[in-house]
Amino acid sequence: MTLHVHILNPPEPSILQSLKSQLDSSIFVTTGSEILSPAEFHILVGGRPDRAHLNASPNLHTLIIPYAGLPESTRHLMAEFPEIAVHNLHHNAAPTAEMALTLLFAAAKFLVPVDQQFRRDDWSAHYQSNQSLLLKGRTVLLLGYGHIGQHIGQVCQALGMRVLAVRRQPEPERMSCTSVRVYLPQDLPTLLECTHVLIITLPGTPETDAMIGEHELALMPPGGLLVNVGRGSVVDQGALYAALKTGHLHAAGLDVWYNYPTKPEERERTPPAGYPFHELDNVVMSPHRGGGSDQTEVLRMTHLAVSLNAAARGESIPNRFDLDAGY
């Protein structure tokens, strides 16, 4: 039986060819935002389909989001189509984990302000009290222990750090770092009391919104580090700014934010938050680029091919979304 797959936003020809070269011979692929009627595809690939796309084919049983997140508009729309399973891809787990580690190291070693100072031929940092934190021996708490968190956990263990994790549904058989202690969200307050480094990889959902606020940050020992590569909404921005401003947090590395440009002309004049984080020396700032790399599109096609081949073979497609939970 032929499995018909339609991709709403076709990749570049060479990338599309890379996908097709990895697919089983029983898979037929069409592309384009304009869908001719009557359509016969079984799987739709796209992050923001509209109602017409979902109604176009009576054979449609699966939507694959070609990235890790689930747009809120898509989540609400898919609730109207319970017969269509929703899956996503985790092709960006490794680059996002690498960004988290980059932010961790830069924040721990106060690298950005020292770099800016040294670019002015100023050697003062060499002769002043060193603000770098030693990571070895410290406790890191991974808030979110999916594909990204597990990758980070392996590296942190190699650094000699004690690694703890919080996951909504611990599933030991799916975890690469079996020596990492995994806890439930209700254990978070107790865990924060011994957390020197908090790394957040959680998606933005009603359940995770403002999960880390003033109270939670105050539970952390003074002089801790916070890294966020999940969603900005997980951390209350006012509480985070205050904790950095007062020095309760030694430093933070942030790749996700609270305000994003909505139009191309806004890209060079959109403050990322309602607080002046850019005025703080103890913050490393990145404009939500953690999932990108020179291999991102190749990885996307490889992971998409795995999902499509599984469907063609009658196997379970990985990474099914729980629309109620939001991930």
Q: For the segment 251-310, what is each residue's pLDDT rounded down to a tens digit? A: 999 999 999 999 999 999 999 999 999 999 999 999 999 999 999 999 999 999 999 999
| pLDDT tens, residue by residue, 108-152 | 999 999 999 999 999 999 999 999 999 999 999 999 999 999 999
User: Is 179's pLDDT higher than 90?
Assistant: no
Over residues 74-85, the mean pLDDT reads 95
Smallest Cα–Cα separation from 108: which of 240, 270, 251? 251
CB 135 within 8 A of CB 157: no
The fraction of the chain above a pLDDT of 70, given in percent, is: 97
Q: At what angle do helices 93-108 and 111-118 cross, to 10 degrees?
A: 70
How far is 91 from 304, CA to CA, in rounded Å? Answer: 8
Over residues 35-60, the mean pLDDT reads 93
- Which pTM value belongs to this model? 0.91
Element (H, E) at 283: strand 283-285
CB 298 within 8 A of CB 18: yes
Over residues 20-47, the mean pLDDT reads 93
Per the prediction, the chain carries an average pLDDT of: 94
> How many residues would you count in the chain?
327
Fold annotation for 93-285: Rossmann fold (3.40.50)
Structure tokens at 123: 């050697």
CB 25 within 8 A of CB 62: no
CB 128 within 8 A of CB 117: no
Is residue 168 exposed (0-12), middle (13-18) or buried (19+ Cβ within 10 Å)?
A: middle
Domain positions in the chain? 3-91+295-312, 93-285
The band of 173, judged by pLDDT with boundaries at 50, 70 and 90, is very low
How far is 60 from 203, CA to CA, in rounded Å? Answer: 27
Place of tokens 């070269």: 21
pLDDT at 68: 86
The fraction of the chain above a pLDDT of 90, given in percent, is: 89
CB 142 within 8 A of CB 165: yes
- On the CB side of 204, how many CA atoms lie within 13 Å of its CA? 17
93-285 has the same fold as 3-91+295-312: yes
CB 70 within 8 A of CB 86: yes
Fold annotation for 3-91+295-312: Rossmann fold (3.40.50)
How far is 79 from 74, CA to CA, in rounded Å? Answer: 9
Contacting residues for 266 by C-beta, under 8 A, at least 6 apart: none
